[in-house]
Structure 1
Amino acid sequence: MTDEPLVIVGAAGTGRETLDIVDAMNREGAGIDVLGVLDDSPAHAHLERLAARDVPFLGRVDDWLSTRTERSGFVVAIAWPHVRRRVAEQFEEAGHLPSTLVHPKAILGSQVSLGAGTVVYAAAQISTNVNIGRHGIINAQCYVGHDSILDDFVSVNPGARISGEAYCGPGVLIGGSATILQGLTIGGGSIIGASALVTKNIPGGATVKGVPGRWRDCF
């Protein structure tokens, strides 16, 4: 965490789940001051849900960045890696600092490295000697096996299982309840569909579906 007050980008589900993580951390004494939430096109229902929990809506990203004079911490709570990358670059170019958030009920093994801006949900389990890059999202009830490397901007959706010694390249999205077997490489920008079983290395930019997983060129 940074010492600066925190702004969360994203008013949809991922953003409000991130607020829940902050609340849980604050109950454990973290003392995180949330300025509010930014979103370029929030649904009316999402704004109502923010208002119900007394969290300020701060407006559009560009407008806020152009007027904010003090440095802030930030988390980009947007599930799609390519969007998260674009927004994170805007904030970092403006001099703001990415914050790392870990729910107190996440389980982290020894020698785990989490990059700046990464968010780890409750009931996620990260085994020993795991490296997770910048601006990752490790969702609820995920498992990341020993000696695995997840590069920058990787999203791991609820219930996904990554076996030991796997490598996920930058911007990989792993769907809910998907499984990646031991020692495999998932190329950057690939999308692993929900409940897919990955049994071989996957090239960059592929979309994988099925059991066993096949990428798009095979359909």
Structure 2
Amino acid sequence: MSQSTPRLEVVAPASEVWSLLRASAEAAALEEPRLASQVNAVILAHHDLAGALSFQIARKLGDAELGAMTLREVCLEAYRADPAMVSAAEADLQAVAERDPAIRSLLQPFLYFKGFQALQAWRVSHWLWMQGRETLAFHFQSRISELFQLDIHPAAQMGSGVFLDHGTGIVIGETAVVGDEVSMLHGVTLGGTGAERGDRHPKIGRGVLLGAGANVLGNIVVGDYAKVASGSVVLKPVPAGCTVAGVPARLVNCPTEATPARTMDHTLADVVYDFVI
């Protein structure tokens, strides 16, 4: 029986992310020659992360209506205008490396993880939205939804160092705000409570962990470093540093651990509070 490949050290300073990604690509091309052409085209043929990201997004989202070459030009335009988008992508890659015990190198999320890929494509759609190019932003949203099975409105706000684990089924509404260093699993909804207009979606603080299938509904705040247990329905604000669970969600531990989004610890401590928040 073959043993599983040991996990490589993939966490690195932002300044080293591109070098580490290239090194992983070079090793993969030698290990699996049948994929060498793909790895070269997507990563090794480029001089920096912006070039590789633009190529990867374009080859994924390009279709008969908007070809890959045109999409790549849009992405490069966005990265030139706002280099912070590339820095955010570096932080997002670092987040995957730090929080996902399954990965072996940065090559995996870059080439194959739809949560990471969808997030980077969304960042371009958000830039387009902020430039007033709403139709093209909606085109990006539609293609992201079709390809990756998650739906993030281009007007939503997302921080950096965000980890969308698996990604499938995530829905984030128009006026939602997601802070830095947030981790969320599949099936998370940041939605409204009805057909109301205006500011109607949740505000998720820094370092929050949102478990699989969690639903946070309405214009409410989930405080920094809070934890929402899998399958919960949150309808009222969550204090910073607290854990909520259930339908409707109740406070079950407060304070909780210091950095739940980084540890990815979805277990629940013994109930400390047991009342509807």
TM-score (ref. length: structure 1): 0.52
Aligned-residue offset at 1:111:
3.0
Aligned length: 139
Q: Structure 1, unaligned stretches of length 5 or more?
A: 9-22, 34-72, 82-99, 114-119
Aligned-residue offset at 1:182:
1.4
Which whole-Å CA distance do the structure 2 matches of 1:178 and 1:107 have between them? 21
Residue 207 of structure 2 is matched in structure 1 by 171
Aligned-residue offset at 1:112:
5.9
More helix by share: 2
Residue 145 of structure 1 is matched in structure 2 by 173
CA contact (8 A) 1:112 1:130 kept: no
Residue 18 of structure 2 is matched in structure 1 by 4
Q: Which SS does the other structure have where 2:244 is aligned?
A: strand
CA contact (8 A) 2:122 2:154 kept: no
Residue 31 of structure 1 is matched in structure 2 by 42
Aligned-residue offset at 1:140:
2.2
Aligned-residue offset at 1:158:
0.5
Which whole-Å CA distance do the structure 1 matches of 2:158 and 2:41 have between them? 22
C-alpha spacing 1:172/1:128, structure 2 compared with 1 (3 Å): same
C-alpha spacing 1:195/1:131, structure 2 compared with 1 (3 Å): same
Which whole-Å CA distance do the structure 2 matches of 1:130 and 1:150 have between them? 8
Aligned pair 1:193/2:252, yes or no?
Answer: no
Aligned-residue offset at 1:109:
9.5
Residue 218 of structure 1 is matched in structure 2 by 273
C-alpha spacing 1:176/1:112, structure 2 compared with 1 (3 Å): farther
AA of the residue aligned to 1:160: V
Which whole-Å CA distance do the structure 1 matches of 2:221 and 2:41 have between them? 36
Higher CA-based Rg:
2
AA of the residue aligned to 1:157: L
Match of 1:102 among 112, 117, 126: 117
Q: Which SS does the other structure have where 2:148 is aligned?
A: coil
C-alpha spacing 1:178/1:125, structure 2 compared with 1 (3 Å): same
Q: Which SS does the other structure have where 1:171 is aligned?
A: coil
Which whole-Å CA distance do the structure 1 matches of 2:233 and 2:18 have between them? 41
C-alpha spacing 1:30/1:124, structure 2 compared with 1 (3 Å): farther
Aligned-residue offset at 1:7:
3.7
Percentage of pairs with the same residue: 22
Aligned-residue offset at 1:79:
7.2
Which whole-Å CA distance do the structure 1 matches of 2:177 and 2:208 have between them? 12
Two-structure CA RMSD over aligned residues (Å): 3.9
CA contact (8 A) 1:108 1:125 kept: no
More strand by share: 1
Deviating runs (4+, > 4 A) in structure 1?
Answer: 78-81, 106-110
